[in-house]
Amino acid sequence: MIRGLLVLLGCQLVGELLAALLGLHVPGPVLGMVLLLGLLTWRRPGPASGVVRVSEGLLRHLQLLFVPAGAGVFSSLTLIGASAVPLVAGLVLSWGAALLTAAGVALLLLRWRPAKEGA
């Protein structure tokens, strides 16, 4: 299990190093996840492997990883309150854009779907 945790942390570290050394505008953990995906695709670990067991344990307690972010939001409530109008406008506009995009993709897929015979 320790080996699985070391693999996860090692992938994140290599991702951080790649992002810093190459000056990429991609977060290091994202590069680490891509590296982990390649590693898992190449090695194909079984369900009893350390990486899978550690990952399942982290996912089982994923809600705990959001506690620091929630505490950060509460500590910045005055700043958030002062910028409430732009924040709400951004949220509503991004929600609307996502909704319209999803509807457009759904319509395209419905038109692209072959018609059933006899209908």
Q: What is the pLDDT of residues 40-98, one digit of tens each?
A: 999 888 888 888 899 898 899 988 888 888 888 888 889 888 999 999 999 999 999 99
Look at residues 44, 60, 76 and tell me which one is the last residue of a structural domain.
60
Same domain for 27 and 4, yes or no, is: yes
Burial class (CB in 10 A: 0-12, 13-18, 19+), 47: exposed
pTM: 0.58
Domain identity same for 38 and 75: no
Same domain, 73 and 30: no
Q: pLDDT tens digits for 22-44? A: 998 999 999 999 999 999 999 88
In terms of Cβ atoms closer than 10 Å to its own Cβ (0-12, 13-18, 19+), residue 6 is middle
Provide the CA 1 distance to its chain's centre, in angstroms: 24
Range of the domain at 53: 1-60
80 and 94 belong to one structural domain: yes
Half-sphere exposure of 38 (CA within 13 A, CB side): 8
